[in-house]
Structure 1
Amino acid sequence: MSSASSDSLTVLYVHAAAELYGSDVALLNLIRHLPPTIRPIVVLPEQGPLADQLRERGVAVKVFPLAVPRRYYFNARRFYRVLGLPAELLICWRKLKRLIRAEKVDLVHLNTSILIGAAWVVHRCGVPLIWHWREILPERGWWREALIRAAQRWASRIPCISNEVRRQFYDQSKATVVFDAVVPDDTAPCNPERLRQELRLGSDALCIGTVGRIQYRKGQDVLIRAASQILKRFPNAAILIVGDVYKKNYAPRKALERLTEQLGIRDRVFFTGFRRNSAEVMRLLDVFVMPVRLPDGFGIVEIEAMLQGKPVVATNIGGSLDVVVEGETGFLVPPDNPDLLAEKIILLLDNPSLRVEMGEKGRQRVLQLFTIEHQVKQVVEIYHAAIRESRGRLRNRGARASCP
């Protein structure tokens, strides 16, 4: 062990991307607020804005292949990527094992469930493994079974970002709910009116928006279909689609643009691309919408909106069930239901006082449940519990070995 004292730890964080969306931001926030007794080292599979942000804060970042089996590898056009995974796993094995030994790592924290290759390496190295689960996997399939069984067998602890994520495990003894958190940043420049001017929105335009990577599972098309009804009641309303495509795969965005043209609302739907200053976006909005059709593990963008005092309309699946209180901080609707989604948004747009009331209750809920201080405290306690268990097992093995 590397620790100079019983409380200090060297923790190796492994993450599957280098962008600045939900899980990326969650990792960045966690590392930024770790106590000084924890020395973080981060491994990423590529360069990107997350790597830049970490290095700006003095965090050591290593970049090498992690044999991440992406969902889109398993279609006919990209199946060749699957064939490259064994070679990536070999590189991951060599580099990760060398890094753990060279840096005298006390434990490894994987930040997403799909890092099964890295999990296997860490397990083989005999280092305590914290395997953070953020995803809700498809209900059936060998891939789900393989990941769940690997986590239950190899991990010392399994932090889960919502109750829905935790429910996936047959044996929940290692699984603990640790909600992601938001960090109020009063020092960042935040001028929502500048964004209003950039988009050329009128001062009287009510703004409805969603934030997330543009892809089918996020349901941006459901919001656009709802928008065709909303705009009949509020012709000056603006629909903001905030986020970008993955790896320059522009097909999902082009499909959304075609849909706006078919519905005759192209001039009222604004594709802003990725925005680093999420607070600026949230403050501009009157209603935040999370129309996912497949469950997300947690709604971190929802709590970002709630922190800014905005009511949230989300689908009643996944992590949103832990975030949004129906009728109190917003509304929950079934997925793929643009009619009901439009109805709830129109109700909020029609009632400014209700928006304010729900927004304030949402902000108070965030400050009570989703603070970074509470999250860090939980995570550090998990680290020390895993270390104590690991040392206990080593002592027991030593005692058994010394028995005549």
Structure 2
Amino acid sequence: MAAEQGRPRVLYWTEVFLPYVGGTEVVGAQLIEGLKQRGYDLVIATSHGHLDLPDEGLHDGIPVYRFPFRTAAASRDVGVFADVRRRVAELKRSFAPDLVHVHAVGPSLLFHLRSIAAHPAPWLFTPHTPLTDRLPGQDTILGEAFRSTDWTVCVSEAQRESIRPLSPEASARSSVIYWGLEEPTLSPAPLPFEEPRLLCLGRLVPDKGLDVALAAFPNLVERFPRLRLTVIGEGPSRPELERQAASLGVREAVDFLGRVPEVHSHLNAATLILMPSRWEETFGLVALEAALMGRPVVATRLGALPEVVLHERTGLLVPSEDSAALAEAASSLLNHPEKAIEMGRAARQRALERFTLDRCVDDYDALYRRLLARRMSG
């Protein structure tokens, strides 16, 4: 593999990548494009996931190499594991990265660690997932990663705080770089109050707490008869959520849209965004997407959500698992349009100042160059 002369080479290592559509994949693709524009020569190493994808491809001219990480890690056949490790090692030797950036805590992390010797290079670790339920002891892959990485990047202060008791040595070599997004080309529309609409956006799994939003909805419909709820996303919980809506007598007022090609027009049609997560969100990308469209958010006070949603300034925060509190918070904004409008404006202004893609790329660019300079001087 011929690397471009004079350009720093970065191996971008991620559990899954586009065409998977999740927060890490969407922002990661934007980050990669920004780094490419800054002069980096990039290669993406990822997995097939559960899709039938080619082993090699291109993303915007950047080589993408996919490996069966999960299958190989779960296989009892030592030969299968060894073959994937060999292929990964060959990629590292041929590309010869100056830096490896790992965005994974799944099976792909194991193969990165087991192939470091093929081409030793500084590497930084962005875990993305909550770590409070993971114990990085001496005999775990996560513990090994924290000990061997040159730097850990957390996507929020909440995530960084969760690392401190689990791995003090990693915490001492860490920093926070918030995710950032490009400003949408679609301009924010006025918040609709004559026919108000709530929006829940994300994977339909228990962690996202959509059942709590549905439990709150009958109370809200009673107060606001023209209110509708839109649910965007797919996942294993969808049939159960549809049954719940029917059992609560609100199925006709709830639109389950599944996956959609773009979300900005749906955000623009919403009055409020609900994030009733029971999961310790490490960032809360939906809240940022809502802010960029000038939408206030009602979210649970968990994980990093209070860093993205400022209570009483850009939205409202409520306890998790509390449908009554969620309904009351949403009702207070629907009853006071001027308050909701001001929160939406403040959210957008803050997003454009603090959570931009340029700022995110700048921060990673500075960190990359610091690690590369340390390598050159060492």
> Which interval holds the TM-score relative to the shorter structure?
0.7 to 0.9
Tell me the CA shift for residue 352 of structure 1.
Answer: 1.2
The residue type paired with residue 380 of structure 1 is D
Q: What is the TM-score when the length of structure 1 is the normalising length?
A: 0.82
1:40 and 2:42 aligned: yes
Contact kept in structure 2, 1:207 and 1:284, CA below 8 Å: yes
Match of 1:210 in 2: 200
Give the one of 374, 386, 390 matched to 2:375. 390
1:63 and 2:79 aligned: no
Match of 1:117 in 2: 110
Residues 147-158 of structure 1 mapped to structure 2, 5 A cutoff: 147-158=141-152
Tell me the CA shift for residue 2 of structure 1.
Answer: 5.9
Residues 62-211 of structure 1 mapped to structure 2, 5 A cutoff: 62-67=65-70, 82-83=74-75, 89-114=81-106, 115-125=108-118, 126-139=120-133, 141=135, 146-169=140-163, 170-171=168-169, 172-186=171-185, 204-211=194-201
Q: Distance in 2 between matches of 1:85 and 1:180?
A: 39
Tell me the CA shift for residue 316 of structure 1.
Answer: 0.5
Task: Give the secondary structure class of the aligned counterpart of 1:113.
Answer: coil
Residues 270-289 of structure 1 mapped to structure 2, 5 A cutoff: 270-289=255-274
Q: Percent identity?
A: 25
Tell me the CA shift for residue 337 of structure 1.
Answer: 0.5
Tell me the CA shift for residue 59 of structure 1.
Answer: 1.8
Between the two proteins, the alignment pairs up a number of residues equal to: 363
- Decide whether aligned partners of structure 1 residues 324 and 147 sit closer, same or farther in structure 2, where only a CA change above 3 A counts: farther
Q: Distance in 2 between matches of 1:9 and 1:304?
A: 31
Match of 1:293 in 2: 278
Task: Give the secondary structure class of the aligned counterpart of 1:340.
Answer: helix
Deviations 1:254-279 (A, max 9, x none): 11111111111111111111123121
Residues 23-38 of structure 1 mapped to structure 2, 5 A cutoff: 23-34=24-35, 35-38=37-40
Tell me the CA shift for residue 20 of structure 1.
Answer: 1.2
Deviations 1:174-212 (A, max 9, x none): 2110000111132x7x8999xxxxxxxx99421101111
Give the one of 203, 219, 227 matched to 1:229. 219
1:257 and 2:242 aligned: yes
Give the one of 315, 329, 350 matched to 1:365. 350
Deviations 1:79-108 (A, max 9, x none): xx8445966643431122111111222111
Higher helix share: 1
Q: Distance in 2 between matches of 1:14 and 1:141?
A: 22
- Decide whether aligned partners of structure 1 residues 235 and 46 sit closer, same or farther in structure 2, where only a CA change above 3 A counts: same
Contact kept in structure 2, 1:293 and 1:315, CA below 8 Å: yes
Q: Distance in 1 between matches of 2:370 and 2:346?
A: 35
Q: Distance in 1 between matches of 2:53 and 2:301?
A: 30
C-alpha RMSD over aligned residues: 2.9
Q: Distance in 1 between matches of 2:78 and 2:320?
A: 37
Match of 2:232 in 1: 242
Q: What is the TM-score when the length of structure 2 is the normalising length?
A: 0.88
Contact kept in structure 2, 1:164 and 1:297, CA below 8 Å: yes
Task: Give the secondary structure class of the aligned counterpart of 2:140.
Answer: helix
Tell me the CA shift for residue 44 of structure 1.
Answer: 2.1
The residue type paired with residue 184 of structure 2 is D
